[in-house]
Structure 1
């Protein structure tokens, strides 16, 4: 059994090594590798043990794997290296360690990933520093960088109620840059209607988090108010309070939109007070 330990995987494509890394089990990590386990094996999403360790921020695990010659340059299915994944989580000390260990991930990729972390945390000044950088001005830094769920900095800021971050990012929308002769998918232009893997938009996330101020900001920048996600939910379906419903209604949302089960927002809600607003 131990001879094939490097080939074993569970239904999620995770090897014993990846499980050992998740549990920070150094003894098991050493045992698996001593029995021929492949240190660079990937799960179904393209993640290696090193990537998992970096995302968790576990310095000891990462050092252990790097010392055992884990490949620093491997990319997951999204094209992200262990360093990029560290940047997404704000693990700057790990990034420095990986660079000292030979990682060659380009600076602009790390900056793009950092935007996601900083947007989630509401670090406006640090985001501005990146957007003022020469790397951003050259179009190397991607303002629409996405995580595995295809959440962009605008989506994650909207979800977490980071109003000041949303205000800043919206300065880089197409509306605010009419003279820019660039596509909406350009790295320097915020894609207001970028949808996640579940087809949710920044407006839907703002609605779900109940932040009517962010909703108003987004609506002032011509987002698709009637977009629907994979379940057919509109931003109105996601509304959780009266202010949100009123903001969406005033913005002109189609109250007749139905989800995949044929329910309008009014039929979907359990809240009787919200129903009275439509």
Structure 2
């Protein structure tokens, strides 16, 4: 290898250093850096080796990269720092270490990122604590903070069956006199990178109680994702189908292959419900 090793990237934009971090290969990490590899090299999404180490919760790798002067302030294409990505994964020890090493990520950004982790884990009281904070009341904390897939706390809670979290977040849904882009207002119909919504995620996970709660808050029941799937296409159980049907979903919606939900399903018992 030559000293150009830091410039080498594969078809996914990943450098040897990023591969080495993903594999926790300390020997290769040391070799790459000794050959002049760029410790702050990014992949196509703007992720550095340090960011990946933080997301994976690999304390040894993060320690080594920080000791070798990895830049803590770099942001990926979403504008997230390594500390924010640590917060998204609930790696609080890494956040503290990064801060002790000079990270200056503002508190409200870390709070926004942590909402994603807390929603996935169902930590209602901790979420409430953030929503009661002065940072949230000032509009600094973003209740619709999203990850790389554009999943928000509401989406991830709906996907993982965290009913109490969903109920809490829905208390912050839009009032008539509030702006839609307000950081303090839950976007009920926020679409992921695949155009899936919280209702779709609740439906495909079989979380019919969450489906009912979302429908009571006037979500877009007929939304479709990039494949044309509606929440009805995603339905996994009878309770969800009944809830969607009673909620007024359009049963004639077709996916990109011209199939209604009834035509799409393999489950004969569900077909009998339509």
Scaled to the shorter chain, the TM-score interval is over 0.9
Q: Is the 8 A contact 1:9 1:16 kept in 2?
A: yes
On the 8 A contact 2:180/2:187 being kept in 1, the answer is no
CA contact (8 A) 2:112 2:145 kept: yes
Residue by residue over 1:113-152, the C-alpha shift from the partner in whole angstroms, topping out at 9 and shown as x without a partner, is 0000000000000000000000000000000000000000
CA distance in 2, matches of 1:62, 1:245: 46
Q: Name the SS of the counterpart of 1:237 in structure 2.
A: helix
Query: Within 2, Cα distance between the matches of 1:268 and 1:20?
Result: 42
CA shift, 1:176, in A, is 9.0
Deviation string, structure 1 residues 146-205 (Cα, Å, up to 9, x no partner): 000000000000000000000000000015987999xxxx10000000000000000000
How far apart in 2 are the matches of 1:177 and 1:251?
A: 26
Length, aligned pairs only: 274
Gaps of at least 5 residues in structure 2 are none
Q: Shift of residue 30 of structure 1?
A: 0.8
Q: TM-score, length-normalised on structure 2?
A: 0.98
Unaligned runs of 5+ in 1: none
The C-alpha deviation readout for 1:60-91, integer Å capped at 9, x for no partner, is: 10000000000000000000000000000000
**CA drift at 1:218:** 0.4
Displacement of 1:23 after TM fit?
1.2
TM, length-normalised to structure 1: 0.96
Q: Return structure 1 stretches of 4+ with deviation > 6 angstroms.
A: 176-181
Contact persistence 2:113–2:145 (CA under 8 A): yes
Aligned in 2, Cα 1:180/1:2: closer, same or farther, shift over 3 Å?
Answer: closer
In the TM superposition, residue 2 of structure 1 has moved relative to its aligned partner by 2.0
Question: Offset of 1:3 from its aligned partner?
Answer: 2.2
Answering whether residue 218 of structure 2 is matched by residue 222 of structure 1, we say yes
Residues 1:170 and 2:170 are matched in the alignment? yes
User: Structure 2: how far apart are the matches of 1:141 and 1:123?
Assistant: 17
Query: Any idea what SS the aligned residue of 2:18 has?
Result: helix
Query: Structure 1 10/159 Cα, relative in aligned 2: closer, same or farther at 3 Å?
Result: same
